[in-house]
Amino acid sequence: MTESILEVTDVELSFAGVKALGGVSFDIRGHELFAIIGPNGAGKTSIFNVLSGVYRPQVGEVRFAGESILGVAPHRIAERGLARTFQNIELFENLDVVDNLMLGRHHHLGYGWPSAVAWLGKARRAEVANRRRVEEIIDFLEIESYRHLPVGMLPYGVQKRIELGRALAMEPRLLLLDEPVAGMNGEETEDMARFILDIRDELQIPMILVEHDMGLVMDLADRVMAMDFGVPITIGSPHEVQNHPDVVRAYLGTVDDAATDVIEEVSSR
């Protein structure tokens, strides 16, 4: 059996006595799409911050590609192949699409992140292979028509796609998607869903998805981990999780009416 790209074991994380994560364990199998759901404050973002090295848990272990990443700096974890997209778009608004994607190649260029910006001109001319990879991603995400436009000018849904492209440009071994369809209209959401499936099935990159759009999670995910108060309630197939009584209770027990409505709707399908 091949080893898991990611193994999280008994992770606990507290902030000044407030427990954000209270014993989280899961692993990522093959190139699965693994979703993390839970009401507001359940600990989803804290898990992403632990995985990407922003927070160091007080207890537990996180192994990525067979090695512990506890205490490893975020940019080093990224270099090892863990890429992340953010809830709020974090792109260079004044640079065009091609340059933003080239910046995703920075560690392949051998420069640090700030110097990558300074060296962009040189990198663009000198690094044919990097350029070719960026062009492949532009094709894959169907953003050819925007390639030379500053990303700040582009519609929100396209910017989210470019942020995804920048993460892909890093050639990740694991991709973390933080609310990839938040704020999108129906058409943009459908496009994004299609690209996420293509990343799994064609590029075979495993992903962890944090998303409040329960319909999307249940349609796309291979496995789902439902969290509440920093603790996993259950891990299983979308069908198992949405019918789990404690999951329904976790949502019904909050004031998060939107999520409640959605999970009820999905459960009754």
**Footprint of ligand ATP (CB under 6 A):** 15, 18, 20, 38, 40-46
- Tell me how far, at minimum, the Cβ of 49 lies from ligand ATP, in Å: 7
CA dihedral over 66, 90, 45, 49, signed as positive or negative: positive
Q: Which amino acid is at 248?
A: V
Between the two ends of the chain, the Cα-to-Cα distance in Å is: 36
- Tell me how far, at minimum, the Cβ of 176 lies from ligand ATP, in Å: 12
- Tell me how far, at minimum, the Cβ of 41 lies from ligand ATP, in Å: 4
Of 149, 137, 146, nearest in space to 93 by CA: 149
Nearer to ligand ATP, 38 or 238 (CB): 38
- Tell me how far, at minimum, the Cβ of 217 lies from ligand ATP, in Å: 13
Nearer to ligand ATP, 38 or 206 (CB): 38
Nearer to ligand ATP, 165 or 230 (CB): 230
Residue 75 and residue 81: Cα distance in Å, rounded? 10
Nearer to ligand ATP, 24 or 98 (CB): 24
Nearer to ligand ATP, 12 or 171 (CB): 12
Nearer to ligand ATP, 41 or 236 (CB): 41
Nearer to ligand ATP, 33 or 42 (CB): 42
- Tell me how far, at minimum, the Cβ of 8 lies from ligand ATP, in Å: 14
- Tell me how far, at minimum, the Cβ of 73 lies from ligand ATP, in Å: 18
**37 Cβ neighbours under 8 A, 6+ residues apart:** 44, 210, 211, 212, 214, 217, 224, 225, 226, 227, 241
CB 111 within 8 A of CB 75: no
- Tell me how far, at minimum, the Cβ of 18 lies from ligand ATP, in Å: 5
Of 196, 135, 134, 132, nearest in space to 161 by CA: 196
Alpha helices in the chain (DSSP H): 44-51, 74-79, 97-103, 106-109, 113-118, 120-126, 128-140, 156-169, 186-201, 214-220, 238-242, 245-252, 257-267
H or E segment to which residue 7 belongs: strand 6-15
